[in-house]
Amino acid sequence: MSSGVSLIVPVLDDTAAVSVLLERVAAWPRAPREIVIVSGARDAELARLCAAHGCQLIETAANRGAQLDRGAAAASSPLLWFVHADTQPPELALAAIEQAVATGAESGCFRFDFQGPPQWRKSLLARLVALRIHMGGMPYGDQSLFVLRDVYAQCGGFAHQPLFEEVELVRRLRHRGTFRALPGRIRVSTRRWERDGWWSRSCHNRWLALCHMLGVPAQRLAGAYSRPRTRTDIEP
């Protein structure tokens, strides 16, 4: 059974993750109306993968915000759902999104969690993210944002920048009072936390968010996102 949701996935040199995501979605009892993959680089293997799964592939310059916006423009459904390639969305996500919209939501996200076996550090960090959002903090793109197409257009879409592209959009969506955080868990990749250290990575992410809030350009912060740096490397 097909839903009325367009699934939009920005990609940059992550074909293996896209393959896992597409296999996962193919096994769901309810399918998205369409899947739009927006790649920031030419990739013959990705093109073959998209053809095999019947996905629309768009190739453009590497800029996550611009990629997401390009995908939204290409999608045909009234409901847009933006998913990062290396996440694991819940199996009943599409039904949950449509149910939320049917009961008044115009946009929303899922609950943050980590992939892999349970660990106390994962559980604690996921709870802290949930608490931050409950207290009015920003839900980011790795929580798989969904939004009605016309509302997305009214709120200006994603900023065309490589990091924190969702911040202004989410602020405008929440200001409307119809943004809903759903209980389903979106499981994000642990690779950056395992590479950099759980507390180092988490503190680094918070530092980047603070720098962005204080006006440091996203283009400058994007280079620091790939690995932790000391505070003196980035001055707000």
- What is the C-alpha to C-alpha distance for residues 62 and 59, in angstroms, rounded to an integer? 9
Q: What is the mean pLDDT of residues 153-180?
A: 96
Residue 2: the pLDDT is: 66
Which residue type sits at 57?
L
What is the full DSSP assignment across 145-180?
Answer: -EEEHHHHHHTT---SSSSSTTHHHHHHHHHTT-EE
Question: What DSSP designation does 201 have?
Answer: H
pLDDT surpasses 60 at 233: no
Q: What is the dihedral of CA 222, 223, 226, 228, to 10 degrees?
A: -110
CATH homologous superfamily for the domain 5-116+138-188: Spore Coat Polysaccharide Biosynthesis Protein SpsA; Chain A (3.90.550.10)
For position 164, what pLDDT does the model report?
95
- Residue 114 vs residues 38, 81, 126, 164: alpha-carbon distances, Å: 24, 20, 7, 20
Domain ranges of the chain: 5-116+138-188
User: Number of C-alpha atoms within 13 angstroms, CB side, residue 130?
Assistant: 16
Q: Is the pLDDT of residue 3 over 80?
A: no
Query: Does residue 190 contact residue 202 with C-beta atoms inside 8 Å?
Result: no
Digit-coded pLDDT (tens) for 27-80: 999 999 999 999 999 999 999 999 999 999 999 999 999 999 999 999 999 999
Q: How far apart are CA 21 and CA 7, in angstroms?
A: 11
Please name which of 163, 180, 3 lies closest in space to residue 95, comparing C-alpha atoms.
Answer: 3
Averaged pLDDT, 14-31: 95
Q: How many CB atoms lie within 10 A of CB 112?
A: 24
- What's the pLDDT at 152? 98
Task: State residue 115's pLDDT score.
Answer: 96
Report pLDDT for 80: 98
